[in-house]
Structure 1
């Protein structure tokens, strides 16, 4: 099996490389106009959109694994610029179902003969995705939904995962340091996510956990799993029909308050992430429906995740800082969560956050203010300073997709107000305020102790300084290899100058001009290396701050 997977991976690598070759050529020419030399090219917004469309078509052509990869990339602004994010956001996991004869083999391998296990079984699937498909059936007089893993998908996914892992070092050469940081963990994160999504035993366990957390909540409906007809590749659940949550016309006909529906959805996810620590991580409209009572039905728990208590606390601190418009608190929370580089320019990021909060709250923002902040980012940040650690990637995906669903339901939806009210009603704001008072008390105690201990130390230091008995150790950190590049340029310059001088002397006083020509031949590579070192620019794609997708589209339209 391992050998077959390896052989398939080698073949798939060639297929993937061929499909991505036009983009590879384009990015290579961006770095050097003539591949190996020449200035770098300026990439316009139109060029980025065109390339994003090519990338979208390529992912669709390569099949299920790469469709899932594209969906993941559409939630990663730390890797791709906004133009790519917007195009890939349209990528839907909707593919033709496998033939029934192939699906029957999977069911019977797991459960036994279909007609013996089920009272009735509809041979036409009601939905098809890249990793699985769902059928309707009857079991012991109850209407059920049967989710079946797509036949043969395991081998294809494992081969493609190896291709992706092999490709990461190659892709990293065409992006900046910020994007390379995120790419390093992308392959492992994606492999973990897609393997978990194919494990229906895990999906059943996550479904049960989340369902138990909302037993008393009538605003949410989660189907009950039926264990007697479930297995690692088959998951049977009670059938809960509803109206797709994005079908606003039908919701209006049902007299459903769409604003209240959006508030319910936001509060459900706040409880999952902040309180319960386990959450449904794929809230696109195809996995959310609404019943006649206005309750939200959740489908497909294959993509789900957990949040550790530390991250939960930091998310609460982040929301409270946003509610209070405490910019320093927002930046501190992002740094502590690992999503913002500590080396980022805080003044510039503060301006970005102020603009983002105003944008989310629906405040009127003067166009010159937007341009001013964007110009600051371009002038001072050579790489996007946001990072996405593995434990935050799914949380960001949820926040992004849920926001889009809520805005579809209510164009004026303000998630900051909803989050603030939720934190107040559940007591988180009061607990955080109490913690701040305790921290302030400890800080005051430490300050008082310092007032007693610091003067004697300062007095001893001044005595040593007066006696000229103070030694200062200085260590210079050169993370960007500035000294290394400078030393190479000096070496190239010296060798080039000495070579030209020697060639001139040999030509002027020598009897044979060929010695001078040989010296010129030896010297020219030094000149070329010197030119390259002086002309070399920072590599990568500059990224602009992305606030909400809706607002960025509106600005581009204006």
Structure 2
């Protein structure tokens, strides 16, 4: 039955995506098998991206989540597609209460016994779950319930995607194929993690513990005795949607202060704590009347290891100092930029990004625009992004978008620079630099001490005529090999020509004919080697003129 459902979904998915795949194939080969690439305007790409979003919404929960994952992968899709997918909203009508009740009672028991009171009208509905309000032990709580029978649909869709992947790989280049396999492997893991509310409860509790003493941040408490794999019960914390600037103004809330708190909170999560809330769109962020920020929905969350944290700090420091070379080095170390990318081109991109973001005020430049420019170039130099790093990049851009909604003049980098300075990251960097410089000086001193006796021994050997030098010649272009072949064929041609003349003079016509034929073949090979060399030189000269 599961296989039959998967086959059905596979047919539906193929039908939905066939026009887009056909268009993409024709972009690469105008007549599918032959012909050059077609030039596709940005407007046409945008229309295709919009159609892709519509198809993902029609196909349901699994593909909505797939679109959200793809929105973090500029190494897979062009920037226009990434931009459209970023706007993909995970909001669908809730399931019938009768069906949701079955799931709820299977996890926590009869509703009347588990809760003092329960409102059967869902306050929000998403592709994987829906949220209700209830009363538990006198406290108002939010109860998140997994959508009924979602497991079978997700498993069928994941199987259909697994079958579809080899077909998609036929229409993409090798680099994109590598990234697509990577995304497919990560997606199934990520989706199953988000469906597991036990994991969400664990991540939520860990992040909450990191901010328990911070009065500017509220993360709801989890009621473990009323939670499970398919149900999550949390304290209900109301607030104004963070993007509702008119309502924030009505409550006389300092929007700049809220934006700064939001950025500092995420910097602490990512750079200091190593565990972060990864879905900061306005629907998951609220503001209380005193300016406190409330975080909802920790289904999408991630971890950052210490090495990546160090690279992120280096990136922010390089951006703050407008050090283009340091930015490129950091991006390469992070795996965000291919080491084979043209550094000169990338430097120009980064300089333009900073200049464009800076505007008239020299101090104003924004990480989002820098990352966007890098992502544009990343698509031209495809690579594999570590999944959590992709989430970090997406979080940085979405958070900055929210901050700019709160305060159009908000300086993201300035706040990040202040935070890193307060946490001692600049001092740590200075200490590391001093330590590294000290090590280099010590090594140089040791080398200098060893140099004198070594040089003295070498001079003694020269005096005794006992000094030899061995040299290895590298012939990466094959020039020496080609020269040797020409010498050999030239000698054979000369010897053959002389032998042919002597045999003909001696009236040995048959032997002269055979040797002459062989000599002619050797002569043609020798002539061809010189012709090939001249052709390559001419091609190189033409290419050089074209570049100029």
Q: TM-score range by the shorter chain?
A: 0.7 to 0.9
Aligned in 2, Cα 1:447/1:330: closer, same or farther, shift over 3 Å? farther
How many residues are matched? Answer: 463
Aligned in 2, Cα 1:350/1:249: closer, same or farther, shift over 3 Å? same
Question: Is the partner of 1:137 in helix, strand or coil?
Answer: strand
The reply on whether 1:471 has 2:468 as its aligned counterpart is no
The reply on whether 1:227 has 2:224 as its aligned counterpart is yes
Partner Cα distance (1:157, 1:78) in 2: 25
Residue among 393, 398, 417 paired with 2:395: 398
Report if aligned partners of 1:225, 1:236 keep a CA contact under 8 Å in 2.
yes
Partner Cα distance (1:457, 1:19) in 2: 75
Partner Cα distance (1:360, 1:48) in 2: 25
Question: Is the partner of 2:380 in helix, strand or coil?
Answer: coil
Aligned in 2, Cα 1:299/1:381: closer, same or farther, shift over 3 Å? closer
Partner Cα distance (1:167, 1:453) in 2: 64
Shift in Å at residue 307 of structure 1? 0.8
Unaligned runs of 5+ in 1: 366-372, 478-558
Shift in Å at residue 209 of structure 1? 0.6
Partner Cα distance (2:49, 2:423) in 1: 43
Pairwise mapping of residues 308-387 of structure 1 onto structure 2 (< 5 A)? 308-363=305-360, 383-384=380-381, 387=384
Residue among 274, 277, 280 paired with 1:280: 277
Query: 1:197 maps to what in 2?
Result: 194
Partner Cα distance (1:53, 1:240) in 2: 35
Query: 1:99 maps to what in 2?
Result: 96
Question: Is the partner of 1:437 in helix, strand or coil?
Answer: helix
Shift in Å at residue 56 of structure 1? 1.0
Query: 1:67 maps to what in 2?
Result: 64
The reply on whether 1:218 has 2:215 as its aligned counterpart is yes
Shift in Å at residue 182 of structure 1? 2.5
The reply on whether 1:420 has 2:420 as its aligned counterpart is no
Residue among 85, 110, 119 paired with 1:113: 110
Question: Is the partner of 2:249 in helix, strand or coil?
Answer: helix
Shift in Å at residue 27 of structure 1? 1.3
Shift in Å at residue 282 of structure 1? 0.7
- Rg (Cα) greater in structure: 2
Partner Cα distance (2:328, 2:92) in 1: 41
Report if aligned partners of 1:31, 1:39 keep a CA contact under 8 Å in 2.
yes
1:512-545 deviation per Cα after TM superposition (whole angstroms, max 9, x unaligned): xxxxxxxxxxxxxxxxxxxxxxxxxxxxxxxxxx
Question: Is the partner of 1:12 in helix, strand or coil?
Answer: helix
Partner Cα distance (2:385, 2:475) in 1: 34
Report if aligned partners of 2:274, 2:304 keep a CA contact under 8 Å in 1.
yes
Report if aligned partners of 1:345, 1:381 keep a CA contact under 8 Å in 2.
no
Report if aligned partners of 1:339, 1:386 keep a CA contact under 8 Å in 2.
yes
Unaligned runs of 5+ in 2: 363-369, 479-548
Partner Cα distance (2:178, 2:344) in 1: 23
Shift in Å at residue 11 of structure 1? 2.1
Aligned in 2, Cα 1:386/1:400: closer, same or farther, shift over 3 Å? farther
Partner Cα distance (2:173, 2:449) in 1: 49
Identify which of structures 1 and 2 has the higher relative contact order when contacts are C-alpha pairs closer than 8 Å and 6+ apart: 1
1:13-32 deviation per Cα after TM superposition (whole angstroms, max 9, x unaligned): 11111110101111121122
Aligned in 2, Cα 1:337/1:474: closer, same or farther, shift over 3 Å? farther
Report if aligned partners of 2:25, 2:171 keep a CA contact under 8 Å in 1.
yes
Report if aligned partners of 1:278, 1:306 keep a CA contact under 8 Å in 2.
yes
Question: Is the partner of 1:148 in helix, strand or coil?
Answer: strand
The reply on whether 1:293 has 2:294 as its aligned counterpart is no
Query: 1:306 maps to what in 2?
Result: 303
Report if aligned partners of 1:70, 1:88 keep a CA contact under 8 Å in 2.
yes
1:442-494 deviation per Cα after TM superposition (whole angstroms, max 9, x unaligned): 2333344455667959998x999x967433466689xxxxxxxxxxxxxxxxx
Aligned in 2, Cα 1:450/1:342: closer, same or farther, shift over 3 Å? farther
Residue among 430, 440, 447 paired with 2:437: 440
Report if aligned partners of 1:269, 1:279 keep a CA contact under 8 Å in 2.
yes
Partner Cα distance (1:274, 1:422) in 2: 10
Report if aligned partners of 1:277, 1:312 keep a CA contact under 8 Å in 2.
yes
Report if aligned partners of 2:76, 2:379 keep a CA contact under 8 Å in 1.
no
